[in-house]
Amino acid sequence: MDGSLKVLILDTDAGHAERALAELKRDGGECDAWLATSEDQFVRALEQFDPEVILAAFHIPGFDGMAALALARTHCPGTPFIFVADAVGEERVAAALKGGAADYVLKTSLARLSGVVRRALDEAAGAAAHQREQERISRLNRIYAVLNGVNSAIIRVGDRDRLFREVCAIAVNHGLFRMAWIGVAVPGATKVRPVAWVGADGGYLDDVGSSVDTVSDDHGIAGQALRGRRIIVANDIAKDDAVLYKKEALERGFRSLVALPLVVENAVVAVFLIYAGEPDFFAEEELKLLDRLAGDVSFALAYIDKEVRLNYLAYYDGLTGLSNRNLLHDRLAQAVAHARRHRRVVAVIFVDLDEFKLINDRFGHGAGDLLLKTTAQRLHACVREGDTVSRYSGDEFVIVMSDQPDEDSVSQAMLRILASVSQPIAIEGNDIAVTCSIGASFYPRDGRDTEALLRNADAAMYRAKTSGRNRFQFYGQGVNARVSRRLSLEDALRHALKHDELALFYQPEIDLTSGQIVGAEALVRWRHPDLGLISAARLVELAQAMGLIGPFGEWTLRAACRQAKAWQDAGCRAVGVSVNLSARQLSRRSLPALVARTLRQTGLDARYLGLDMAEAAILQGAEPAVDTLKKLRSAGLRLSLDDFGAGNSSLMRLKSLPLHRLKIAQVLVRGITTGDGDVALVRGMIGLAHALGLIATAKGVENDEQTAILRTSGCDEAQGFHFGKPVSAADFNLLLKREIKIVN
């Protein structure tokens, strides 16, 4: 025996223990001995001494030698256990050997002890080597099982995400690992994001993923594999500080792990992590096989990426990511077929960049590519989500817009495109602005198949380019004329808003009992140089179509409040002024803040401002609109439901609205003198208003007969041409100063 042999002796006879050690030393070796005389001492020695051989007596007071053998097999199963005792029966010896004892030596034959111990140590070493070999083979077989399963999956699976899931499942189910997951590299950061996992996760990846999301660099095992492009191993998680979530891993039974980088085209695209339930699992041979496994998966990913790329390029433009000609023709054919079945309109818009060749010649193709990619992004932002934007060829783009109501909606889209495309782009330190020319055709008017629609949109684009560029043209001349008139009108309205060229007219609201003016409805008018006076209804329609309803409504509100305050400052009796709100204005959550700011700036008290809203805007609106009304009412404003009875009323909803008055629709007021049976209906509406605590106001009153019926029916207020047409602010000022009673 070479070196110092660690011997644990279980015996109450110290002299016998000394003789046994002397025999072992006589064989030429040194001994480091621990004498245990009780069960407690024996257990402590097993835990702390780590003996290489155990010599035990059969009989210990309060403790049996066979019980000691069982304890030794549990704590150190590979350590030789030899009974050294007085003579016992053969059955006892046989039971000891069967229980795991290496041999039995009589105390009277200690001369045999050295040989028995030497032989037992040799057998134990051989058994340990055999066990290690079996464990090595088992580990390798598990890796081979994973390798074979993954290679089989690679042949079957042609989808990247599915391959990731199957690789993780094979590692757990075939390789018997505790868990496996794959994370993809996050662009612009040295960390991975889990995309597939199988096994005893138990929330582990939630903990890891949520923490990694907060940093740009992952300093754990996965991050090291990603940055270093090499396999990273933690063969003892409990002792490896590189494992950032050690406690969580150990709680789930993870004892060792390996991170395998998956490399495609010289870049790490993902990291494959495998967790074993045993420490020191990933030895050199296992790592060689796992490296081969990572290579096979990486090769499969490269193949899948190329196949996906080829399929992608069959339908999409490689530079801009837009649909190419193949997909465009398919989408356009589908849109035409749908429009044919449902009698709808399809617009085809052809966009060509102006002077694109000059950009390429001056700054190079890199600058040209940047311009094309930027244009593609801008075109997408100008149309609806379901519309198709395609790069047709070179610097030409085609857009397919389905389910179009009329040419105006397409005109608005093309105006957005012209404005967006012409925004400057930074190229080599210079802000370069490039315009475009646009042509449009419509199904079915300009063509009934894809080729005709594309050809005619292209022809319209060419007309736009030859007529000055940075503009659009429709294929049909009649459409161009209508759109031109519409665009001219819209430009003029923008100018009028910007330069305060609109005007408010005021129609008096009369108290039917006293005959006095109690308010005024502000109606916006615009005197166009060519078209004459344009009504409020037409102005609202234009403003909404142009996306100017916000500025338009703000101007109207501000002008009305300013005028009402001016009348008061001029010494006139204070009366309220009412402003009409559109459904779109009412839907804006910022409306209460806008009204409060306007009142503060003009100095008008809130009780002198009324807001009139159409029935459809609030009776059929969503809860946010009702919340807005409540905020306005609590601020002291007078809220009116306009044209009540002209639409589909909801009495249950009406009851919950914070209104001040009901304005009965003109069409019903007109009917009370035509014999159409509307008197009872109007009286019912007046009674309903009073039951709800509201003022009843009749609109569109035109004669004495209507006035008399309304007064006897208990109507509170009225307005209409019988009392006065909308007049200018100056004329309304005269009415207030004269205090004219309009009702006889």
For 142-200, the pLDDT digits (tens) are: 888 888 888 888 888 878 889 999 999 999 999 999 999 998 888 777 788 888 889 87
What per-residue confidence (pLDDT) applies to 120? 87
Question: What is the model's pLDDT at position 134?
Answer: 83
Query: For residue 481, what pLDDT band results from cuts at 50, 70 and 90?
Result: low
Question: Which residues, 6 or more positions from 125, have their beta carbon under 8 angstroms from its beta carbon?
Answer: none
The answer, yes or no, to whether residue 564 has pLDDT greater than 90, is yes
Query: Which is nearest to 150 in space by CA: 180, 175, 170?
Result: 170
The predicted structure's pLDDT at residue 620: 47
User: CB neighbours of 169 closer than 8 A, spacing ≥ 6?
Assistant: 180, 198
CA distances from residue 208 to 191, 205, 211, 218, 261 in whole angstroms, order as listed: 11, 5, 5, 10, 18
Closest CA to 54 of 107, 116, 1: 116
Q: Which pLDDT value is given to residue 617?
A: 66
Percent of the chain predicted with pLDDT > 90? 30
Question: Is residue 743 very low, low, confident or very high in pLDDT (cuts 50, 70, 90)?
Answer: very low
What is the C-alpha to C-alpha distance for residues 329 and 350, in angstroms, rounded to an integer? 14
Which of 221-230, 485-494, 536-545 tops mean pLDDT? 221-230
More confident residue, 302 or 653: 302
Share of the chain above pLDDT 70, in %: 90
**Bridge partners for 190 per DSSP:** 217
- Reported for 369-374, long-range contacts at CB under 8 A and 24+ positions apart, including other chains, are 369/319, 370/425, 370/427, 371/425, 371/427, 371/432, 371/434, 372/319, 372/320, 373/319, 373/320, 374/425
The helix/strand/coil state of 222 is: helix
pLDDT of residue 344: 86
The token duo for 744 is: 């006889």
Tell me the pLDDT band of 553, cut-offs 50, 70 and 90. confident
Residue 575 has pLDDT above 80, yes or no: yes
Q: Which of 108-112, 348-352, 405-409 is most confident?
A: 348-352
Span 638-648, average pLDDT = 80
Contacts for 28 with CB less than 8 Å, ≥ 6 apart: 1
Res. 478 pLDDT band, cuts 50 70 90: low
Torsion angle of C-alpha atoms 568, 571, 573, 576, degrees rounded to 10 = -10
- Does the pLDDT of residue 293 top 50, yes or no? yes
58-115: pLDDT as tens digits: 888 888 888 999 999 988 888 999 998 877 777 878 888 888 888 888 888 888 888 8
Give dist(CA 400, CA 590) in Å, integer: 35
What digits encode the pLDDT tens for the residues 492-533?
777 777 777 788 999 999 999 998 999 999 998 887 766 667
Buried b (16+ CB within 10 A) or exposed e, 68-103: bbebbeeebeebbbbbbbeebeeebbeebeeeebbb
pLDDT of residue 482: 55
* pLDDT tens-place string over residues 228-248: 889 999 999 998 888 878 888
Residue 375 has pLDDT above 90, yes or no: yes
34 close to 45: Cβ distance less than 8 angstroms: yes
pLDDT attached to residue 744: 44
- Mean pLDDT computed over 319-326: 87
Q: Please say if the pLDDT value at position 545 is more than 70.
A: no
Q: Tell me what pLDDT residue 616 has.
A: 65
Average pLDDT, the chain: 85
Q: Mean of the pLDDT values across residues 597-622? A: 82
The CB-side HSE value for 742 (13 A sphere, CA atoms) comes to 26
pLDDT over 80 at 561, yes or no:
yes
What mean pLDDT do residues 286-309 have?
Answer: 84
| pLDDT computed for residue 547 by the predictor | 64
pLDDT, tens digit, 9 for 90 and up, residues 105-147:
888 888 888 888 889 888 888 888 888 888 888 888 888 888 8
Within a 13 Å sphere around the CA of 556, how many CA atoms are in the beta-carbon half?
Answer: 28
* Per-residue pLDDT band at 360 (split at 50, 70, 90): confident
Name which residue leads in pLDDT, 737 or 115: 115
Task: Give residue 558's pLDDT band: very low, low, confident or very high (50, 70, 90).
Answer: very high
Q: Other C-beta atoms within 10 Å of 570: how many?
A: 10
First to last CA, the chain: 135
Residue 740's alpha-carbon distances to 443, 564, 637, 722, 731, in angstroms, are: 60, 18, 26, 14, 12
CB 368 within 8 A of CB 360: yes
Q: What is the pLDDT confidence band of residue 310, given thresholds at 50, 70 and 90?
A: low
Q: Which helix (H) or strand (E) holds 526?
A: strand 517-528
Are the CB atoms for 639 and 631 separated by under 8 Å? no
pLDDT tens profile 22-50: 888 887 678 888 999 999 999 999 989 98
Strand partners, 290: none
Give the pLDDT score at 207: 67
Q: Which residues make Cβ contacts (< 8 Å) with residue 330, sequence separation at least 6?
A: none
